[in-house]
Amino acid sequence: EIVLTQSPGTLSLSPGERTTLFCRASQSVSSNSLAWYRQKPGQAPRLLIYGASNRATGIPDRFSGSGSGTDFTLTISRLEPEDFAVYYCQHYGSSPITFGQGTRLEIK
Amino acid sequence: QVQLVESGGGVVQPGRSLRVSCAASGFTFSNYGIHWVRQAPGKGLEWVGVIGNDGDVQYYADSVKGRFTISRDNSKNTLYLQMNNLRAEDTAVYYCAKEPQKYRGPWYFQDWGQGTLVSVSS
């Protein structure tokens, strides 16, 4: 089973700032099968990025993903109020699927 | 558009059984694999398992293997999760989630239901 470790656990930032979230895998993720989600309180997760760097349908270009092998990042270029939420990475290259423990992005 | 609507959650005693459902619409249900993902209160996401588009293949997380069974009725556009011998640690919101591509699609999720809460407590 691939273990995903996200860092930092919590980020306190202001709207308009830029930030980068990290996701490290315990072993190489095949074919860059890595996705990112944003989850707001009381809602289902929303897909942001798949294939490590491909934006999902309807996701604005302030979100970008990069990385390969064991190290992946999600960058938000300019934080909007709706971006203050919890972010999860997920690998899907092999069974079982696993998720990272999440990074909470809070308003400073 | 794609809609996934879970139902059947509730409070159940440890050791008992419960079946939750996921009603699908807005796409050809029989063409897509569907997953269950759960989230314990205040915790992160945990994959539960998957069933292939025609029901021939299922995979499960070790934490539920042998206790949970995923099935589907393609004539009713409905997915099921039968949960037996429930434990307190199974308490969670259970989401169904659709694969993005037909047949043996990659296992990331563009479309999710709103979730149904299962509470296991005496």
Is B62–A95 a contact, with Cβ atoms under 8 angstroms apart? no
User: Cα distance from B118 to chain A (closest Cα, Å)?
Assistant: 15
Q: CA of A4: how far to CAs of A14, B16, B84, B121, in Å?
A: 27, 33, 29, 30
Across-strand partners of B13? Answer: none
d(CA A47, CA A40): 12
Residue partners of B65: CB distance under 8 A and separation at least 6? none
Sequential pLDDT tens for chain B (122 residues): 999 999 999 999 999 999 999 999 999 999 999 999 999 999 999 999 999 999 999 999 999 999 999 999 999 999 999 999 999 999 999 999 999 998 888 899 999 999 999 999 99
Q: Which residue has the higher pLDDT, B102 or A11?
A: A11
Tell me how long chain A is.
Answer: 108
Interchain pair A99, B113: CB under 8 A: no
Residue to mutate among A40, A97, A101, with most B CBs inside 10 A, is A97
Q: What is the mean pLDDT of residues A93-97?
A: 90
pLDDT given for residue A47 in this prediction: 98
Cis omega (within 30 of 0) on the bond before B14? no
Q: Tell me the mean pLDDT in the region A35-51.
A: 97
Q: What is the pLDDT of residue B44?
A: 97
Q: How many beta-carbon contacts under 8 Å exist across A and B? A: 50
Contacts with A96 from chain B: Cβ below 8 Å: 47, 59, 61-62
Confidence of residue A31 (pLDDT cuts 50, 70, 90): confident
